[in-house]
Amino acid sequence: MEYPLTGYHHITACAGGAQEDVDFFTKVVGLRMAKQTVLMDGSIPIYHLYYSNANLEPGSVMTTFPYSRKPGRRGSGQVHSTSFTVPKGSLSFWKDHLDRHKVERTDVQERFGASYIQFRHPSGLAYEVLEDAADNREPWTTHSKDVAVRGFHGSVLSVRETAETERFFVEALGFKKTGVDGAFHRFETGSGGANKTVTLVNEPDLKAGSWTFGAGTVHHIALWGADKAALARQKEIYEELGYTDASEIKDRFYFFSMYCRSPGGILIESCCNADDGFEKDEPKSTLGKELHLPPWFNDRKAEIMAQLEPITVPETAMSH
């Protein structure tokens, strides 16, 4: 069977403060600011900030809800860490760079033969830079091109037991199990590798994490489909297998989304770009420079902006 989802589109986390989030992803990770908008669910104004590589490619888009109203509870049934690819031999730069910015980090570690460093967002979120010589996506050059982030390698998902979540990724999403390294179980889709890898880490004694919005937790991972028909087909696959809690397809203005909670607890989004994507309300030359609201919020713009934390985006993170 041909499956409709082909890799990552974005990953969405709940951060704490908005300005510290902007500084972390633009100055530390070195991504561009791709879009400033707001969370489209509910009535409370909350930023939705988008960061990406040079070409805003699906599989490079990190998005955050700066949600300082309450902390989340990290645990199983959540994203354990998010991995970005960097060029082979660049980890010595990243060690020094993270230290200069006083970012909590590990020493160089290895998983499935790949070297990586894990480090912490100010809200406690875990990120990794993982060496991958085969990833040739165009980086945003806050840092020099020979060390800069290319996009996602994938996500590491914490589960108390692996069997049901394995079945979900294989039967419902078309991934294949390609390796085990201690507590880590690797699954890949399509050609595998960067942007096509999900790793389960078996943590049987870890208490369940929270599922609501809460600072310091990842809300969902989003896998990419070509169009709304691909999302509808994915919904059919879920329902054929008995995963009947899949949502309806939702209009997110810049893309369309459909959600399903996996058996291990991690929320999986299926999404496809809308026509013109991020450029439907601002030209490519000014992406990320100012807040944009979907049309249904336009009459509330002054009210919404008055309730949001003011942010300053570095010039190096915006289109040039």
Q: Are 19 and 127 in contact (CB under 8 A)?
A: no
**HEC states along 232-276?**
HHHHHHHHHHCCCCCCCCEECCCEEEEEEECCCCCEEEEEEECCC
Residues 29, 142: Cα–Cα separation, whole Å:
9
- For the segment 124-149, what is each residue's pLDDT rounded down to a tens digit? 999 999 999 999 999 998 889 999 99
Confidence (pTM) = 0.96
- Torsional sign, CA 95, 99, 100, 101: positive
CATH node for 5-317: 3.10.180.10
With 90 as the cut, is the pLDDT of residue 1 above it? no
Residue burial 190-224, b: 16+ Cβ < 10 Å; e: rest: eebbbbbbbbbbbbeebeebbbebbbbbbbbbbbb
Look at residue 320 in the predicted model and tell me its pLDDT.
Answer: 59
CA nearest neighbour of 40 among 251, 223, 190, 247: 251
162, two tokens:
């692996």
CA distance 82 to 45: 26
107 versus 284: the higher-pLDDT residue is 107
What ranges do the domains of the chain cover? Answer: 5-317
Backbone angles phi, psi at 237, to 5 degrees: -60, -45
The C-alpha atoms of residue 285 and residue 294 are separated, in whole angstroms, by 20
Q: What is the rounded average pLDDT for all residues in the chain?
A: 95
Placement of tokens 């914490």 in the chain = 158
